[in-house]
């Protein structure tokens, strides 16, 4: 039995006239009648009552009509689904992102991508740059939003944001009244830094900045997530260098100040495996490149 047999049968059942059914199907009546007889032989049941005056469905024919319509509907849905999958419009995408991206590029990317591809299931994982690189290499995530530079021969990247560093400081701190701060003014302040054992783009950039300016911070606390860093600043634990986009996090008790010294440009990029042929991934990358 082939799908065409079901289409032939449904058309005859709807018309209850072999001549009109043959005309709809653009085939001659004798071959159509033969196809229906062959179908009845294969099923072992009579689908139609035929007289010279009329054609009617038998009780088994009525049941077969209902089920045949369901089969063709499911086949149609399968065709639509596989075509969407080939265009990257349906499927699942695992996205890693750093905490800074939540206050800058991530909301815009997700909003536009979800508008364009509402049938794609997203799995979002907040990870450090190093964790994202590790999971990209081990096929545990499909794409990452992370800090550059990274060292990898198998990953491609596209830049989405460049920003400077600013100082996060408690609003009750004496230095909070100044329009901008210098590193010299912060020489005796307790600092909150990203964990050194995790490494990653933000930690490396801050460390390189301190080395270039011959500045030795008084590190009293480490915090993996930037939200935690800002909460600690608000609590008076210390000051922190954070990406400028974090100013979008308006945490009560914290103010942000520019540094007098030129700070390094932090670069956030989308990263993915070069040879990953997933249509969903390519759709995501194309969307990002259209935005930025």
Lowest mean pLDDT among 10-24, 94-108, 194-208, 271-285: 194-208
- Domain of residue 18 covers 3-86
Angle between helices 279-291 and 106-116 (to 10 degrees): 120
Residue 200, pLDDT > 70, answer no
- Mean pLDDT across 234-257: 94
Model pLDDT, residue 118: 93
Calpha distance 137→151 (Å, rounded)? 12
* Same-domain check for residues 153 and 272: yes
We report the CATH number of the domain holding residue 242 as 3.40.190.10
Residues 260 and 273 in one domain: no
- CB of 269 closer than 8 Å to CB of 254: no
Residue 96: CB atoms within 10 Å:
26
- 139-160 per-position pLDDT tens digit: 999 999 999 989 899 999 999 9
Amino acid 176: pLDDT: 95
Are both 174 and 256 inside the same structural domain?
yes
Same domain membership, residue 174 and residue 143? no
CA atoms of 90 and 85, how far apart (whole Å): 5
Residue 270: predicted pLDDT: 98
- Residue 157 and residue 169 share a domain: no
What confidence tier does 199 reach under pLDDT thresholds 50, 70, 90?
low
State yes or no: pLDDT of 166 exceeds 70: yes
The token pair at 265 is: 């440009």
For 123, the enclosing helix (H) or strand (E) is strand 120-126
Residues 125 and 150 in one domain: yes
Last residue of a domain, one of 39, 69, 86: 86
Q: What is d(CA 101, CA 124) in angstroms, rounded to the nearest whole number?
A: 12
Q: What is the pLDDT of residues 128-142, one digit of tens each?
A: 899 999 999 999 999
Nearest to 282 by CA among 81, 85, 83: 85
Domain count along the chain: 3
8 secondary structure, DSSP code: H
Which of these, 149, 128, 144, 132, lies nearest to 208 by C-alpha position?
A: 149
Q: Are residues 254 and 285 in the same domain?
A: no
Q: Cα(first)–Cα(last) distance of the chain, in Å?
A: 52
Q: In Å, how far from its chain's centre is CA 171?
A: 37
Lookup result for tokens 């049938």: 119
272 and 157 in one domain? yes
Q: Of 56-60, 85-89, 163-167, 246-250, which gets the smallest average pLDDT? A: 85-89
Dihedral in degrees, nearest 10, Cα atoms 139, 142, 143, 147 = -20
Residue 86, pLDDT score: 78
Q: Residue 168's closest CA among 69, 98, 245, 73? A: 245
């Amino acid at each position: 039995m082939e799908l065409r047999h079901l289409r032939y049968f449904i058309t005859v059942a709807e018309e209850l006239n072999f001549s009109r059914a043959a005309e709809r199907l653009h085939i001659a009546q004798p071959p159509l009648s033969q196809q229906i007889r062959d179908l009845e032989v294969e099923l072992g049941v009579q689908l139609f009552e035929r007289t010279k005056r009329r054609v009617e469905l038998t009780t088994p024919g009525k049941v077969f009509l209902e089920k045949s319509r369901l089969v063709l509907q499911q086949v149609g849905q399968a065709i639509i689904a596989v075509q969407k999958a080939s265009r990257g419009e349906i499927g699942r995408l695992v996205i890693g992102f750093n905490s800074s991206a939540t206050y800058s590029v991530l909301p815009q990317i997700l909003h536009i991508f979800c508008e364009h591809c509402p049938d794609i299931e997203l799995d979002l994982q907040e990870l450090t740059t190093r964790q994202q690189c590790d999971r990209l290499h081990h096929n545990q995530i499909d794409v990452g939003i992370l800090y550059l530079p990274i060292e990898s021969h198998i990953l491609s990247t596209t830049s989405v944001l460049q920003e400077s560093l600013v100082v996060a400081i408690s609003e009750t701190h004496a230095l909070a009244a100044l329009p901008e701060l210098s590193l010299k003014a912060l020489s005796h302040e307790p600092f909150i830094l990203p964990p050194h054992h995790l490494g990653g783009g933000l930690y490396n950039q801050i460390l390189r900045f301190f080395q270039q300016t011959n500045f030795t911070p008084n590190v009293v606390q480490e915090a993996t997530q930037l939200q935690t860093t800002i909460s600690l600043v608000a609590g008076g634990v210390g000051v922190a260098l954070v990406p400028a986009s974090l100013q979008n996090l308006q945490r009560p008790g914290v103010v942000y100040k520019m540094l007098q010294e030129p700070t390094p440009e932090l670069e956030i990029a989308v990263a993915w495996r070069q040879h990953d042929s997933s249509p969903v991934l390519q759709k995501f990358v194309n969307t990002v490149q259209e935005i930025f």
